[in-house]
Amino acid sequence: MATQHDIALTRALAELPGPLPSSGVIHVAIPHASRFTIVGNHLTQHAELSLVAIGIGVHIQSLPTGSEVGIKALASRFTEGETRIAAALRELEAHGYLSRTRVRLANGRLVTRTVFCNQPGAALRGGTAVTPVPLVAPAPVPAPAPLVAPAPVLVVAAPAPTPPPSPEPTPVPEESHPPVRVPSRTAPKAARRPLPRPRELTPELRQTASAILAGLRSHAKELVLSEDDVEALIPGVAAWLERDAHPDTIRHALTTELPQPPKHPAKIVKHRLTVLLPPPLPGAQELAPVRRALVIPLQNCDGCDRAFRATAPGHCRGCRNEPTATAA
């Protein structure tokens, strides 16, 4: 036995003029009186967005301003996991529907500000600031009740007999506009320095470095390194040993003032081996005393009492050459 809904639907389909399509969907359009959201076909029929991204975009657009739309909030609401939801949010962000930026509040706390734009293509074409509006349609003003309530009519829209829609302005294809990109508010991070390496990794240096790394957990229980981590960090410790760093000095540099709790012990050890690398010890040439210029003292000539520079008292050059000139 059919339900009343099936009977009403069959009756409405029978009253449609013209033949019904043999396949495809037939829309039953019932006007909404409350709790509805206007969503553009550019989102619901987007050619590049996944179905999860389209569904999340429609859901976010239907929420009121101030609702939580983070990854964990959406994962607690839907059956999709955090990985799929995070990928869908990145799709919406890449196509300009979603914008997430880090801002600092008046109390100094950093928060993530999420902005959803229902028409990113129109915002790009307009070139002016878009005033944010509530994403939920306002409640309509109740109309006065009629004296006689008419019987409910089920409206069925078929594609063939419907009149042509009113002409609309030709939309600009979205492919011609680049997606909305929010510039980063933070400076780009500098490239990380590579792990130092010795000039020659001898078997003695490898054995000592491996023993130091494996024994770090005896001095700091948080620094538990795997065999792969020890093998990857051996060149860094060997570079310290090559520069005549004592093993106790290396252990102190790697185990002092650790962050609590250390999430990645191997990354902490690698960072400290790179940043705190001591310079090589100076050699004999660097420690040689500075040579000073020899200063010859002034002397008074025993013959003419003139001043001249010499290491010992005596006659100046003129007095020494005077007998020669006389003889000539």
pLDDT given for residue 50 in this prediction: 92
Distance from C-alpha of 226 to C-alpha of 139, rounded to nearest angstrom = 62
Q: Report pLDDT for 88.
A: 92
Structure confidence at residue 177 (pLDDT): 46
pTM for the predicted model, two decimal places: 0.37
Instruction: Determine the distance from the C-alpha atom of residue 213 to the mean position of all C-alpha atoms in its chain, rounded to a whole number.
Output: 32
Question: Which residues on neighbouring strands pair with residue 100, listed in sequence order?
Answer: 114
Give the per-residue pLDDT at 208.
93
Give the alpha-carbon dihedral of 132, 137, 139, 140, to 10 degrees.
Answer: 110
Buried b (16+ CB within 10 A) or exposed e, 199-215: eeeeeebbebbbebbee
DSSP run (H or E) holding 308: strand 307-309
Q: Compute mean pLDDT per 10 residues along the chain, 328 residues long, and list them.
A: 68 68 74 85 90 92 88 90 92 90 88 87 59 47 50 50 55 49 57 87 92 90 90 93 91 88 87 90 69 81 87 87 58
Question: What pLDDT score was predicted for residue 204?
Answer: 92
SS3 of 154, please? Answer: coil
DSSP 216-282: HHHH-TT----HHHHHHHHHHHHHHHHTT--HHHHHHHHHSS--SS-S-HHHHHHHHHHHTPPPPPP
User: Which residue has 């930026």 as its token pair?
Assistant: 101
Counting every residue written for the chain, the total comes to 328
- pLDDT tens digits, one per residue of 279-316: 887 776 666 666 777 788 888 998 888 888 888 888 88
What's the one-letter identity of residue 250? I
**Tell me, what's the pLDDT at 133?**
46
Per the CB < 8 A criterion, the answer to whether 20 and 13 are in contact is: yes
Residue with tokens 């409910």: 152
The helix (H) or strand (E) run that includes residue 299 is: strand 298-300
Q: Cβ contacts of residue 251 below 8 Å, gap of 6+?
A: 212, 215, 216, 219
Residue 136's pLDDT is what? Answer: 44
pLDDT at residue number 228: 92
pLDDT digits (tens, 9 = 90+) for 119-131: 887 766 664 444 4
